[in-house]
Protein backbone atom coordinates (compact mmCIF):
# COMPACT_ATOMS: atom_id res chain seq x y z
CA UNK A 1 0.00 0.00 0.00
CA UNK A 2 1.44 3.36 -0.96
CA UNK A 3 1.52 6.25 1.51
CA UNK A 4 -1.13 8.65 0.24
CA UNK A 5 -1.82 11.94 2.03
CA UNK A 6 -4.84 14.17 1.51
CA UNK A 7 -3.46 17.61 0.65
CA UNK A 8 -6.82 19.35 1.14
CA UNK A 9 -7.21 18.10 4.73
CA UNK A 10 -3.58 19.02 5.47
CA UNK A 11 -4.31 22.67 4.67
CA UNK A 12 -6.49 22.80 7.80
CA UNK A 13 -4.08 21.03 10.17
CA UNK A 14 -1.03 18.78 10.14
CA UNK A 15 -1.46 15.02 10.41
CA UNK A 16 0.60 12.22 11.88
CA UNK A 17 1.03 9.19 9.61
CA UNK A 18 2.48 5.97 10.98
CA UNK A 19 2.47 2.54 9.42
CA UNK A 20 4.29 0.07 7.22
CA UNK A 21 4.88 -0.33 3.51
CA UNK A 22 5.48 -3.94 2.39
CA UNK A 23 8.78 -4.71 0.66
CA UNK A 24 6.88 -5.59 -2.52
CA UNK A 25 5.48 -2.03 -2.68
CA UNK A 26 8.63 -0.01 -2.07
CA UNK A 27 11.52 -2.24 -3.15
CA UNK A 28 10.16 -4.90 -5.51
CA UNK A 29 12.66 -4.05 -8.25
CA UNK A 30 15.63 -3.46 -5.91
CA UNK A 31 18.59 -5.69 -6.78
CA UNK A 32 21.87 -5.78 -4.90
CA UNK A 33 24.30 -8.66 -4.43
CA UNK A 34 25.07 -7.83 -0.81
CA UNK A 35 21.87 -6.24 0.58
CA UNK A 36 18.25 -7.45 0.75
CA UNK A 37 15.17 -6.00 2.45
CA UNK A 38 13.57 -8.56 4.80
CA UNK A 39 10.98 -6.46 6.66
CA UNK A 40 8.47 -3.79 5.66
CA UNK A 41 9.49 -0.14 5.78
CA UNK A 42 8.07 1.40 8.96
CA UNK A 43 7.40 5.12 8.98
CA UNK A 44 6.30 7.70 11.54
CA UNK A 45 5.77 11.10 9.91
CA UNK A 46 4.29 14.49 10.69
CA UNK A 47 2.88 15.84 7.41
CA UNK A 48 1.69 19.41 6.89
CA UNK A 49 1.07 22.02 4.22
CA UNK A 50 2.62 25.47 4.50
CA UNK A 51 1.54 27.73 1.66
CA UNK A 52 2.43 26.09 -1.66
CA UNK A 53 4.56 23.33 -0.09
CA UNK A 54 3.95 19.98 1.56
CA UNK A 55 6.35 19.11 4.39
CA UNK A 56 6.96 15.65 5.84
CA UNK A 57 9.22 15.11 8.85
CA UNK A 58 9.84 11.91 10.78
CA UNK A 59 11.58 8.56 11.02
CA UNK A 60 11.97 5.54 8.70
CA UNK A 61 13.23 2.10 9.66
CA UNK A 62 13.49 -1.45 8.40
CA UNK A 63 15.75 -4.48 8.68
CA UNK A 64 18.24 -5.63 6.06
CA UNK A 65 19.85 -8.97 5.41
CA UNK A 66 23.41 -8.36 4.25
CA UNK A 67 26.37 -10.39 3.10
CA UNK A 68 29.62 -9.09 4.57
CA UNK A 69 31.75 -7.37 1.94
CA UNK A 70 34.89 -9.01 3.37
CA UNK A 71 34.01 -12.51 4.58
CA UNK A 72 30.60 -13.07 2.90
CA UNK A 73 28.96 -14.03 6.21
CA UNK A 74 25.19 -13.32 6.16
CA UNK A 75 23.91 -11.06 8.95
CA UNK A 76 20.93 -8.81 9.75
CA UNK A 77 21.29 -5.08 10.22
CA UNK A 78 18.75 -2.41 11.12
CA UNK A 79 18.42 0.51 8.73
CA UNK A 80 17.22 3.73 10.35
CA UNK A 81 16.68 7.15 8.80
CA UNK A 82 16.13 9.14 12.01
CA UNK A 83 15.64 12.56 10.44
CA UNK A 84 13.58 12.04 7.30
CA UNK A 85 12.62 15.43 5.91
CA UNK A 86 11.13 16.46 2.60
CA UNK A 87 9.60 19.67 1.25
CA UNK A 88 7.52 19.28 -1.91
CA UNK A 89 6.15 22.06 -4.04
CA UNK A 90 2.44 21.61 -4.70
CA UNK A 91 2.27 24.12 -7.53
CA UNK A 92 4.43 25.14 -10.46
CA UNK A 93 7.48 23.46 -11.88
CA UNK A 94 8.63 20.40 -9.96
CA UNK A 95 5.26 20.00 -8.27
CA UNK A 96 4.41 16.57 -6.92
CA UNK A 97 1.98 14.64 -9.12
CA UNK A 98 -1.36 14.14 -7.46
CA UNK A 99 -4.43 12.05 -8.00
CA UNK A 100 -7.16 14.46 -7.06
CA UNK A 101 -6.45 15.68 -3.53
CA UNK A 102 -3.96 12.90 -2.77
CA UNK A 103 -0.16 12.95 -3.02
CA UNK A 104 1.88 9.73 -2.91
CA UNK A 105 4.91 9.98 -0.60
CA UNK A 106 6.10 6.40 -1.27
CA UNK A 107 8.70 7.34 -3.95
CA UNK A 108 10.27 9.84 -1.53
CA UNK A 109 10.43 7.30 1.30
CA UNK A 110 11.97 4.83 -1.14
CA UNK A 111 14.60 7.31 -2.31
CA UNK A 112 15.78 8.24 1.18
CA UNK A 113 15.80 4.59 2.25
CA UNK A 114 17.95 3.60 -0.74
CA UNK A 115 20.35 6.49 -0.06
CA UNK A 116 20.83 5.21 3.51
CA UNK A 117 21.80 1.67 2.42
CA UNK A 118 25.31 0.53 3.33
CA UNK A 119 27.64 0.57 0.31
CA UNK A 120 29.99 -2.04 1.77
CA UNK A 121 28.25 -3.91 4.59
CA UNK A 122 30.50 -5.47 7.22
CA UNK A 123 29.45 -8.10 9.77
CA UNK A 124 31.70 -6.39 12.35
CA UNK A 125 33.84 -3.26 12.01
CA UNK A 126 37.00 -5.31 12.57
CA UNK A 127 36.13 -8.17 10.16
CA UNK A 128 39.38 -9.65 8.84
CA UNK A 129 37.82 -11.17 5.74
CA UNK A 130 38.14 -14.69 4.42
CA UNK A 131 40.77 -16.91 6.02
CA UNK A 132 43.35 -17.83 3.38
CA UNK A 133 43.44 -21.51 2.50
CA UNK A 134 46.66 -23.28 3.41
CA UNK A 135 48.54 -24.77 0.44
CA UNK A 136 48.13 -28.49 -0.08
CA UNK A 137 51.20 -30.27 1.23
CA UNK A 138 52.20 -33.88 1.46
CA UNK A 139 53.11 -34.20 5.14
CA UNK A 140 53.95 -37.90 5.11
CA UNK A 141 57.28 -38.80 6.73
CA UNK A 142 60.19 -38.69 4.34
CA UNK A 143 58.56 -36.20 1.93
CA UNK A 144 60.25 -32.87 1.38
CA UNK A 145 58.12 -29.78 1.95
CA UNK A 146 58.09 -27.60 -1.15
CA UNK A 147 56.65 -24.18 -1.79
CA UNK A 148 55.40 -21.59 0.65
CA UNK A 149 57.30 -19.64 3.29
CA UNK A 150 58.17 -22.76 5.32
CA UNK A 151 60.22 -24.15 2.42
CA UNK A 152 62.95 -21.57 2.24
CA UNK A 153 62.34 -18.47 4.24
CA UNK A 154 60.59 -15.45 2.91
CA UNK A 155 58.18 -15.50 -0.02
CA UNK A 156 60.23 -12.56 -1.37
CA UNK A 157 63.33 -14.72 -1.85
CA UNK A 158 62.43 -15.54 -5.46
CA UNK A 159 61.93 -11.85 -6.24
CA UNK A 160 65.27 -10.96 -4.66
CA UNK A 161 66.97 -13.32 -7.15
CA UNK A 162 65.78 -11.27 -10.11
CA UNK A 163 68.48 -9.25 -11.87
CA UNK A 164 66.97 -6.10 -13.30
Query: Domains in the chain: how many in total?
Result: 1
149 belongs to a structural domain: no
142 belongs to a structural domain: no
Range of the domain at 31: 4-115
Nearest to 81 by CA among 110, 102, 59: 59
Q: Cα Rg for the chain, rounded, in angstroms?
A: 27
The predicted model scores a pTM of 0.72
Please report, in angstroms and rounded to a whole number, the separation of the first and last CA atoms in the chain.
69
10 belongs to a structural domain: yes
24 belongs to a structural domain: yes
pLDDT at 158: 80
Greatest Cα-to-Cα distance within the chain, rounded to the nearest angstrom: 91
Q: What is the pLDDT of residues 12-64, one digit of tens each?
A: 888 999 999 999 888 888 999 999 999 999 999 999 998 888 899 999 999 99
Amino acid sequence: MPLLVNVRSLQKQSERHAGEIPVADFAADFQDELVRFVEPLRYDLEVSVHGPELTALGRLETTLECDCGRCLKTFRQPLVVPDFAVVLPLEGEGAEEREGDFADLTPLLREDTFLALPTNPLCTPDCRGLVPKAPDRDLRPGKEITGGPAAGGSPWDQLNKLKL
